[in-house]
Amino acid sequence: MDLGLKGKTAIVTGASKGIGKAIAETLASEGCNIHLVSRTEADLNAVRDDVTDRFGVNVTVHALDLSQPAAVRALADAADDANILINNAGAIPGGDLAKLDDDAIKDGWQLKVFGTVGLVRYFYPRMCERGDGVIVNVIGMAGERGRPAYIAGSMGNAALMQMTRAIGAESLDHGVRVLGVNPGPTQTERFQLLARANAEKKYGDPERWLETMDNLPGGRGGLPEELASVTVFMASPQASWVSGTVIMVDGGQHSRPPA
C-alpha cells in the first residue's frame, strides 16, 4: 500500500535508537524526508547515513536536549517545514510516591511531558495556519493502566493522552490531525538489557531473556517495527479520519486482568 507520504517532511524525536529509529526508517521507506532529533549526535549521524544510503531521502540531524525550552524553540525554527511531528522522546523513571519526591517527578516529566507539550505548542498553530499537518504522540501504556510502582510515568502519560484527545477533538476543523500511540513492552535495546538482567537473576543465564516475557501476550514483547508501522500509517493520509484518539499497540495487554 502506498501511504501517500512521498515528499512529505517529518520530525521524529528520540530517533537515535529503539522505537524512534524504527519510525524514522519506516517513514523514509515511504519517501518521507526526516528531521532526526535526540541528544546524541554520533548515534543520529549513524541513523542518517544508513537511512540516506537505503532510501535516498533528505535527512537532517538535530542533536538537542528537548527537556530545555531553548532547544524546543531551536527545533521549531529549524524544522518549520515539517508536515508531520512524531513526539517520541523521553523515558520517565520508575518508583512509587514514597520513593519519588516532587523534584524527581518534575525531572522525569521535563523531557517526556514538557518537551512534548512544548513542541505541540509551537507546531500545532503553524499547521493550523497552513490547514495541513499531523501530530502523533508516542506515549505509553501506563497512561491507560496506571501502576503504583511507576507513578510518575502513569501520571505523565495520562496527561499526554488527555492533551492528545482534547486537541485532536477539534484539530480536524483546521485540517490537522492529532492522535497518540501507546506502546506496550517493546523489544528495544533497553528492554533487552533489562530482560537479560532479569534472566540472569532468575535463571542464572542472560541468554534465556526471552523466557522472562512469558506473561506478555503471545509470550513476547512488541517489536519496534510493529509499533513503527502503526505510527506511520496513522501519520499518513490513509488514516485521514483518525484524530483525537490514542491507539493501543500492546497485543491486548491493557485488556488483560492484572496478574
Mean pLDDT per 10-residue section of the chain, whose length is 259 residues: 95 96 98 97 97 97 97 96 96 87 92 97 97 97 85 94 98 98 85 74 82 78 92 98 96 74
Residues 70 and 193 in one domain: no
Which ranges constitute the DSSP H helices of the chain? 18-29, 41-55, 69-78, 102-109, 116-130, 151-171, 189-203, 224-235
**DSSP states of 82-120 as a string?**
-SEEEE-------B-TTT--HHHHHHHHIIIIIIHHHHH
Residues 48 and 136 in one domain: yes
Dist. CA 230–CA 226, nearest whole Å: 7
C-beta separation of 53 from 65 below 8 A: no
Residues 88 and 70 in one domain: yes
Residues 181 and 192 in one domain: no
pLDDT value of residue 143: 85
Domain of residue 204, residue span: 187-221
Residues 135 and 203 in one domain: no
Residues 166 and 201 in one domain: no
Query: Is residue 244 situated within a structural domain?
Result: no
Residues 155 and 192 in one domain: no
Query: Is residue 249 situated within a structural domain?
Result: no
Type of residue found at 173: D
Query: Is residue 4 situated within a structural domain?
Result: no
**Could you give phi then psi for residue 245, rounded to 5 degrees?**
-135, 165
Number of domains the chain is built from: 2
Query: Is residue 29 situated within a structural domain?
Result: yes
Q: What is the CATH number of the domain that holds 87?
A: 3.40.50.720
**DSSP states of 153-164 as a string?**
HHHHHHHHHHHH
Query: Is residue 68 situated within a structural domain?
Result: yes
Residues 60 and 179 in one domain: yes
Query: Is residue 256 situated within a structural domain?
Result: no
Cα pseudo-dihedral 150, 89, 250, 231, rounded to 10: 160
Residues 180 and 230 in one domain: yes
Residues 126 and 176 in one domain: yes
Query: Is residue 258 situated within a structural domain?
Result: no
pLDDT value of residue 27: 98
Query: Is residue 55 situated within a structural domain?
Result: yes
Residues 215 and 117 in one domain: no
Residues 31 and 51 in one domain: yes
Instruction: Supply the pTM of this predicted model.
Output: 0.92
